[in-house]
Amino acid sequence: MEAHRVRVAVFAGGERFPLLLNPSGVPHFDATMFAVTELRMKNLASNTIANALRALQLFTTFLATEGIDLRKRLTEGSLLDLHEIELLAQACRRPLDTFSAAEVSKADRSASSTRRAWLEQHRSRLPDRKEELVHPAVTATRLQCIRDYVTWLAEIHLAKRHGACLNPRDLRSVVSGFRQAIDARAPSGLASQEREGISPDMRSRLNRVTRPDAPDNPWVDLFVRDRNALIIDWLYHLGLRRGELLSSRVSDVDFRRGVVRVSRRPDDRDDPRRVQPVVKTRAREVPLSPGLLDMTRQYVVELRGARPQARKQDFLFVAESGAPLSMSGLAKIFKVLRANIPDLPADLTPHLLRHTWNDRFSEEMDQNKVPEETERKARSYLMGWSETSGTAAVYTRRHVREKAKRVSLDLQERVLGDKVE
- Residue range 70-105, pLDDT digits in tens: 999 988 888 999 999 999 999 999 988 776 544 444
Q: How far apart are the first and last CA of the chain?
A: 74
Query: For residues 194 and 187, what is the distance between their CA atoms, to the nearest angstrom?
Result: 12
Closest CA to 40 of 369, 267, 306, 376: 267
Return the half-sphere exposure (C-beta side, CA atoms, 13 A cut-off) of residue 200: 2
Question: Do residues 102 and 61 lie in contact, with contact meaning Cβ atoms separated by under 8 Å?
Answer: no
Q: What is the mean pLDDT of residues 201-230?
A: 95
Residue 190, Cβ neighbours under 10 Å: how many? Answer: 15
Residues 6+ apart with CB under 8 A from 84: 66, 68
Question: How far is CA 421 from each of CA 273, 383, 413, 418, rounded to the nearest angstrom?
Answer: 68, 49, 12, 5
pLDDT beyond 50 at 341: yes
Give residues with Cβ within 8 angstroms of 89, minimum separation 6.
139, 143, 182, 185, 186
pLDDT band at 307 (very low <50, low <70, confident <90, very high): very high
CATH match of 195-421 with 1.10.443.10: yes
For the purposes of burial, counting CB atoms within 10 Å of the CB of 3, is it exposed (0-12), middle (13-18) or buried (19 or more)?
Answer: buried
Q: Looking at the chain, which residues constitute the CATH 1.10.443.10 domain(s)?
A: 195-421
- Report DSSP state, residue 302: I
Q: Which of 128, 60, 67 is nearest to 93 (CA)?
A: 128
> pLDDT tens digits for 225-247?
999 999 999 999 999 999 999 99
The burial of 320, by beta-carbon neighbours within 10 Å (0-12 exposed, 13-18 middle, 19 or more buried), is given as: middle
Rounded mean pLDDT, 274-286: 90
- The better pLDDT of the pair 411, 38 is held by 38
CA distance 60 to 77: 19
* Per-residue model confidence as pLDDT tens digits over 17-54: 899 998 888 999 999 999 999 998 887 888 889 999 99
Question: CA of 412: how far to CAs of 116, 157, 291, 398, 409, in Å?
Answer: 52, 63, 42, 21, 5
Among 170, 140, 142, 165, residue whose Cα is nearest residue 154: 170
| pTM, rounded to two decimals | 0.70
What are the C-alpha distances in Å from 397 to residues 121, 189, 391, 408?
Answer: 44, 16, 10, 16
DSSP state of 35: I
